[in-house]
Amino acid sequence: MRLIPAIDLRAGRCVRLLHGDFESETRYPTDPETLLAKYRDLGADWLHIVDLDGARDGTLQNHTIIVRLAIQKAVKLQVGGGLRNTAAIAQMLDAGIGRAVVGSAALAQIQQVRAWLIHFGQERVALAFDVSIDDNGVPRVMTHGWQRQSEHSLWSAVDTYVDSGLKHVLCTDVGRDGALTGPNTALYGEAVHRYPHIEWQASGGIRNAHDLHALDDAGVAAAISGKALLENLIPFEELQPFLPNA
Amino acid sequence: MSVTEVVIIANVGANIASLRFALERLGASSRVTADLDQIRNASHVILPGVGAAADAMRRLHEHNLHTLIPSLRQPVLGICLGMQLLFEASDEGQTECLGIIPGRADRFDASVGRPVPHMGWNTLNIERPSAFLDGLAQNDYAYFVHSYALKLSEATVASSDYGKPFSACVNWHNFYGVQFHPERSAKVGARLLQNFLRL
């Protein structure tokens, strides 16, 4: 399993939201370029960048900063937030972004997203599903910056794309994200069991090395962590197994 | 170090990214393949494995690896389930394994405070000297995830204890095995992999 550090951008700054709530934001006194350098030096080969402004209103407010991070070519970037039309994705990929992460469009514009997977390729388009677990234990997909719940289960959403070559799926359990309560390993274990050919990226709730080992055991391909790394909660020696360039 | 051509046997159902990172840190490039010639010609062969013994053996049979692996003469390292597969059999699904090392994996008994799988860091007890264990000390920690284990035997070079002693590291002729995950066991794991690559 690979550890992918996350950088969330809002108005050009590094932040973390608790449970995706735009009102409960933690700001970090680090600029994105310094943070990228820190994670590169740690040994990461990919970073996960989220444009929170874009995720909320569909614009590309942090585009300039993201392009500036990409042209350093220090690490590969996967970028999400606001990628809802072909031009936005093409612009990102042309600017040197390794992979576009498509979120709410994956439910709202299914034919379009299928076309992106085929046109840009399965390595360059990842789908991100933010889920919350309903009363029956079913992961339900949330949309629009976690402000709306959809009728889709995670499984029906993934089923929509298996024939289009879908390979990388990022799944965030909204109930765990930014809360340091431990990742939902049961959810990821089931996801890997149902779709063993998909490279699952797990996001949300990672507190310590034990959580990383548990995700690796569940069979996920990548663990995305923001807060635990920003706050240096895990000693380097415990992170090293999951960092390709460490 | 002489030229090492490490081959990781594919299709055993393992998550091998961390293993490849660990080998790269040691300066060894690795190839993941089920191709019989490539495995035969490798300087070192690694048999990883997670999941169920029966599934892993079925996949080895599908690729005729069940006859190739016992015939290998270069150093071979089985990791976790991959180590158990080197033995005669596993109680997990009453599976016949590769039959290279005498012994049979049996299941841990769960008890209060000792859940199964055995999951997490545990100490190593060195049972006898081996080049495979160079640089390791008594009570060094390694990271385990397993429900089945091998009793101590002639093949045991290091043991661990989880309600009962079990084989943590084994060596039988050119075959080596680790019940824990060296690729996830920090410095101890890196040292073991390095020792293996120097065999």
Cβ density class B105-142: b for 16+ within 10 Å, e for less:
bbebeeeeeeeeebbebbebebbeebebbeebeeebbb
Residue A147 pLDDT class (50, 70, 90 cuts): low
> For chain B, where are the E strands, in sequence order?
6-9, 30-33, 44-47, 76-79, 87-90, 95-96, 101-107, 118-123, 125-126, 141-146, 148-149, 156-161, 165-172, 175-178
Task: Calculate the average pLDDT of chain A.
Answer: 89
pLDDT mean over B156-167: 97
Residue B11 has pLDDT above 80, yes or no: no
User: Which tens digits make up the pLDDT trace of B48-83?
Assistant: 987 789 999 999 999 999 999 999 999 999 999 999
Q: B47 near B39, Cβ under 8 Å?
A: no
Q: How many CB pairs under 8 A join A and B?
A: 42
Residue B1 pLDDT class (50, 70, 90 cuts): very low
pLDDT mean over B74-94: 97
Chain A neighbors of B184, CB-CB under 8 A: 213, 216, 241
Per-residue model confidence (pLDDT) at position B40: 96
DSSP secondary structure letters along B169-190: EEEETTEEEESS-GGGSHHHHH
pLDDT mean over A150-168: 94
Per-residue model confidence (pLDDT) at position B182: 96
Per-residue model confidence (pLDDT) at position A179: 62
| Minimum Cα–Cα distance from B20: chain A residue | A244
| Minimum Cα–Cα distance from B182: chain A residue | A241
Residue with tokens 């590769």: B98
B183 vs A: CB within 8 A: yes
Residue A72 pLDDT class (50, 70, 90 cuts): confident
| Minimum Cα–Cα distance from B24: chain A residue | A244
Residue A21 pLDDT class (50, 70, 90 cuts): confident
Active site residues of B: 80, 181, 183
A47 vs B: CB within 8 A: no
Q: A102 φ, ψ to 5°?
A: -100, 125
Hey, how many other C-beta atoms are within 10 angstroms of the C-beta on A106?
A: 29
Residue B103 has pLDDT above 80, yes or no: yes
Q: Determine which of A187-191, B9-13, B105-109 has the lowest per-residue pLDDT on average.
A: B9-13
Q: A202 near A220, Cβ under 8 Å?
A: yes
Which residues lie below 8 Å from residue A196, measured CB to CB, with a gap of 6+? A219
Chain A residues 1-40 with CB within 8 Å of chain B: 1-2
Residue B16 pLDDT class (50, 70, 90 cuts): confident
Residue B27 burial (C-beta neighbours within 10 Å; 0-12, 13-18, 19+): exposed
B32 vs A: CB within 8 A: no
Residue A177 pLDDT class (50, 70, 90 cuts): low
Chain B neighbors of A1, CB-CB under 8 A: 15, 17-18
Residue A149 has pLDDT above 50, yes or no: yes
Cα within 13 Å of Cα(B139), Cβ side: 0
Residue A205 pLDDT class (50, 70, 90 cuts): confident
Residue B161 has pLDDT above 50, yes or no: yes
A219 vs B: CB within 8 A: yes
Chain A neighbors of B187, CB-CB under 8 A: 237
Residue A12 has pLDDT above 90, yes or no: no
Residue B15 has pLDDT above 70, yes or no: yes
